[in-house]
Amino acid sequence: MAVEWSGSTPEVFIRLDRQSPETLGSQMRNALRTAVREGRLHMGERLPSSRRLAADLGVSRGLVQATYEQLEAEGYLQAFGGSATRVAFSPQATRVPSPKPPPAARMEIDFAPGRPDLNSFPARDWLWACGEATRTASARDMGYDDPQGSIRLRRVIASYLQRVRGAFADADDLVICSGFTQGTALTLAALRDAGVTSVAVEDPGHLDMPVLVRRAGLNPVFVPVDDRGLVVDELARTKATAVIVTPAHQTPTGVVLTPERRLALLQWAEQVGGVVIEDDYDSEFRYDKQPVGSLQGLAADRVVSVGSVSKSLAPAIRLGWVSAPRHLSARIAEEKHRCDRGSPALDQLALARLIESGRFDRHLRRMRGVYAARRGELVEAIGEHAPGLELTGLAAGFHAVAHLPRGADEAEIVHAAARRSVGLQGLGRYRSPYGEGPPGIVFGFGDVNEDAIRRGIAAIGDLLRQG
């Protein structure tokens, strides 16, 4: 389908060589034929008027009109009285279409974890914040700014982390990035340059962590997780000098790193001169327990805390932050500069304005209620359709783990549910090739409304009961 350009006459790329023995008219005709054949000009697309194209190319209008008439006679173009000249020819019929991969099965109800409720994005508040950011932006704000990030946003984020997460944050030690993945990648690159060779990751854990570690040229070391979080004794037996953890709501088990393990982890970092990379996701969404403070607030010289607004607002915002010790933050800022010279300035200013105005906090309070209701619906539906099935990881975030009986075929349950158009993820897919443990299903409920939760669990209740 051709793009219908609005407003002024569209432009078209034609290069004329006035030193060539070929006439200008012949060059114009050949250039337009080639553009149509190669699909750069699509069937139905409007061409510039003869007056406009003549002015752009520095030729007479009569020459352009003659070119259009010739190509119209050849079937490339068509023109109607009082209307624009348009492309009449489609090269698709002469091409062998490339085979398309089969479409992925679309689940009617998908319990995939890690997705917030995208329908609840505060569009009006974000539009207001974007307007305020644009209205008040200075000329300097519109140029290439500090790759470390907008100082205004860094101050706002530092204040927010101190107020809400109990962090020891300083704007000078913050680097604004494009979400958690980039923030972690920048940190790993800085650690590599500082001499780190091995990084420990949780097992089971976030699927992307081993990949990010390898891409940074580092060796991932898998450390088991139990019902008290990362097993620090096992970490101490490795050669890793850095570790990536999710202490507030472990991915995917949902367990909270216990106070004893927290202290042991920080002692390990001090003893080996190591670094703890804290993924502080889901920290805003806690329900029936007291908030768990940031690890970074306990040992700011040993912990790099990475956060983003992907879960609290939407992944599309593509903004996050890294709060690092002073000796690392400068390296991370250098990596950010090499990577992309800094995140979009206007988006940073808009996020700063959203948080300053209190609208961000208001959105989080509303979403806690939404997720708490869905959490309750999941618990109730599981209790009704698969009684006796244990659910854990419910204290925070918007996913939980259903523990299947030992011996249950986790993969078969996932496949059987898919045949009923219900998307599930097994706990096993989060384990390393060496990891072992009982079977389970990770239920995400962030982007699944209460009615869909009821229908989805009812549709697969027999699968869960059989195990």
| End-to-end C-alpha distance for the chain, whole angstroms | 49
pLDDT confidence band for 258 (50 / 70 / 90): very high
pLDDT band at 91; cut points 50, 70, 90: confident
Answer whether residue 425 shows pLDDT above 60. Answer: yes
Q: How are beta strands 242-245 and 275-279 bridged, if at all?
A: parallel
At 99, give phi and psi (nearest 5°): -65, 135
pLDDT for 103 equals: 60
User: Mind listing the domains of the chain with CATH numbers?
Assistant: 24-94 (1.10.10.10), 109-114+362-466 (3.90.1150.10), 121-357 (3.40.640.10)
C-beta of residue 402 within 8 angstroms of C-beta of residue 373: no
How far CA 190 is from CA of 36, 113, 145, 196, in Å, comes to: 49, 30, 21, 9
User: Residue 412: how many CB atoms within 10 A of its CB?
Assistant: 12
**pTM for this entry:** 0.83
**Segment 159-196, tens digit of pLDDT:** 999 988 888 889 999 999 999 999 999 999 999 999 99
Per-residue pLDDT at 46: 85
Which strands make up the sheet holding 399-403, listed edge to edge?
390-392, 399-403, 440-444, 425-426
